A and B are shown apart, each in its own frame.
Chain A
Amino acid sequence: NAGVMQNPRHLVRRRGQEARLRCSPMKGHSHVYWYRQLPEEGLKFMVYLQKENIIDESGMPKERFSAEFPKEGPSILRIQQVVRGDSAAYFCASSPSRGPGELFFGEGSRLTVL
């Protein structure tokens, strides 16, 4: 089984541009989580989605950030009008619909804002 796939692995944007990060969960997983990690720090929860539903977006900044997980296709984390402070590694994780909820992580997308 392929693991959680994230792309792009590295993304460079200039201030004011948009960044789109994609995440394909493991086969059969219907839950997706997005986390942000700054260097030498832990993971900060951003958003938890199921197919076509946002379950918990309490960690998402209220402006410029949005996430979706459509019925078909990958989950997308979108950052509009990026600023230097958005530079970070963004990790996606997925879990199956049953069970205690072990998370399977992708390798992350590293966003650099110039």
Chain B
Amino acid sequence: SQQGEEDPQALSIQEGENATMNCSYKTSINNLQWYRQNSGRGLVHLILIRSNEREKHSGRLRVTLDTSKKSSSLLITASRAADTASYFCATGGYGQNFVFGPGTRLSVLP
């Protein structure tokens, strides 16, 4: 099975700074997805990047994918206190189960 693993495990930054989280996986993928989880809530899909894409943007989010290194990064620019959450990468796709990494806990301090 494919396994996403994020680093760092925890990240604390000031409001307005950028936050970068990384994800590594072990096997070939069709796509990689990032999700956010606020404390005590379900996960929310943020962005999907396909295996033939190298970079993707959505608002303040920028995701990169390097299939040669089996890694992805999620950049949140100009962070806000509301971005405080856990962030997970996931590999899988239609007809497959989805495997999530352990997540990065992001704290954005006002």
Chain A positions within 8 Å of B, measured between CB atoms, are 4, 33, 35, 40-43, 45, 48, 55-56, 58-59, 91, 93, 95, 98-108
Among A48, A55, A91, A100, contact of B42 (Cβ-Cβ < 8 Å):
A91
Contact of B100 with A101 in the complex, beta carbons under 8 Å? no
A108 to B42, Cβ gap below 8 A?
Answer: yes
Give complex CA distance A35, B35 in Å: 14
State which residues 45-104 of B face A: CB under 8 Å. Answer: 45, 48, 50, 88, 90, 92-103
Check A42 against B48 for contact (C-beta < 8 Å): no
Chain A residues closer than 8 Å to B44, beta-carbon distance: 105
Inter-chain contact B94/A107, CB cutoff 8 Å? no
23 pairs of residues in contact across A and B, judged by CB atoms under 8 Å: A33-B97, A33-B98, A40-B105, A42-B100, A43-B100, A45-B98, A55-B95, A58-B1, A58-B97, A59-B97, A93-B43, A95-B94, A100-B31, A100-B48, A100-B93, A101-B31, A101-B92, A101-B98, A102-B33, A103-B43, A105-B35, A105-B42, A106-B42
Q: What's the nearest-Cβ distance from chain A to residue B11, in Å?
A: 14
Band of interface residues on B: 20 to 34
> In the complex, what residues of B have CB within 8 A of residue A105's CB?
35, 42-44
A4 to B96, alpha carbons, bound, how many Å? 19
- How many A-B Cβ pairs are below 8 Å? 68
- Asked if B30 and A107 sit within 8 Å, CB to CB, the answer is no
Task: Fill in one digit per residue for B10-54: 1 if any A CB lies within 8 Å of its CB, else 0.
Answer: 000000000000000000001101010000011111001010000
B94 touching A42 by the CB < 8 A rule? no
Chain B residues contacting A98 (CB-CB under 8 Å) are 94
What residues of chain A lie closer than 8 Å to B41, measured between beta carbons? 107-108
Out of B43, B99, B102, name the residue touching A41 (CB < 8 Å).
Answer: B102
